[in-house]
Amino acid sequence: MIIRVSPSALRGEVQAPPSKSVMQRLVAGALLADGTSTLDNISQSDDCTASLMLASQLGAEIEIGEQRVSIVGTGGKLLPRTEVLTPGESGLAARLFTPIAGLAPTPLRMEAEGTLVARPMAVYESLFDAYGGQLSCLNGAFPVEIARPLVGGTAELEAPISSQYITGLLFALPNLARASELKVTQPTSTPYLEMTMEVLEDFGIAITANDAFTHFQVDGDQQFKPIDTVIDGDWSGAATLAVAGMLCADGSIAIHGLSNQYTQADEAIRGALLFAGGALSGIDDGIQVAKRPVRPFTVDLTDSPDLFPVLAALAAFGKKPSTLRGIHRLEHKESHRARRIAVAWAELGIQVELDETNGCMHVHPWAPARRSAKVRIDSSGDHRMVMALSILGMAGNGAVEISNAECVAKSYPEFFDDLDTLGAQIQLVKG
CB 99 within 8 A of CB 121: no
Domain boundary residue, one of 193, 211, 230? 230
Same domain for 207 and 121:
yes
- Strands 286-290 and 249-256, sheet pairing: antiparallel
Say whether both 10 and 125 belong to one domain: no
What is the rounded distance in angstroms from the CA atom of residue 234 to the CA atom of residue 241? 11
**Helices of type H across 33-131:** 46-57, 91-101, 123-130
Confirm if 11 and 250 have CB atoms less than 8 A apart.
yes
89 plus 215 within the same structural domain: yes
- What CATH number did the domain enclosing 106 receive? 3.65.10.10
How many angstroms separate the Cα of 310 from the Cα of each of 182, 360, 392? Answer: 34, 16, 9
Whether residues 211 and 247 fall in one domain: no
274 and 400 share a domain?
A: yes
pTM of full prediction above 0.85: yes
Q: Mark whether 223 and 248 lie in a shared domain.
A: no
Instruction: Tell me: do 347 and 358 sit in the same domain.
Output: yes
Three-class SS state of 183: strand
Same domain as 130, residue 99: yes
Q: In this structure, are 8 and 107 located in the same domain? A: no
Rounded CA gap, 162 and 405, in Å?
26
How large is the greatest C-alpha to C-alpha distance in the chain, in angstroms? 66
Considering only CA atoms, give the Rg of the chain: 21
Structural domains in the chain (count): 2
Residues 217 and 321 in one domain: no
Q: Where is the domain boundary, 230, 258, 281? A: 230
The residue segments making up the domain with residue 382 are 2-17+233-430
Q: How many angstroms separate the CA atoms of 50 and 27, rounded?
A: 10
3-class DSSP assignment, residue 148: strand
In tens digits, what is the pLDDT along the chain, a chain of 431 residues?
999 999 999 999 999 999 999 999 999 999 999 999 999 999 999 999 999 999 999 999 999 998 999 999 999 999 999 999 999 999 999 999 999 999 999 999 999 999 899 899 999 999 999 999 999 999 999 999 999 999 999 999 987 888 999 999 999 999 999 999 999 998 988 999 999 999 999 999 999 999 999 999 999 999 999 999 999 999 999 999 999 999 999 999 999 999 789 999 999 999 999 999 999 888 889 999 999 999 999 999 999 999 999 999 999 999 999 999 999 888 755 558 899 999 999 999 999 999 989 999 999 999 988 787 789 999 988 999 999 999 999 999 999 999 999 999 999 999 999 999 999 999 999 87
According to DSSP, the residues that pair with 62 across neighbouring strands are 71
First to last CA, the chain: 5
Residues 219 and 237 in one domain: no
Show which of 230, 245, 261 is a domain's final residue. 230
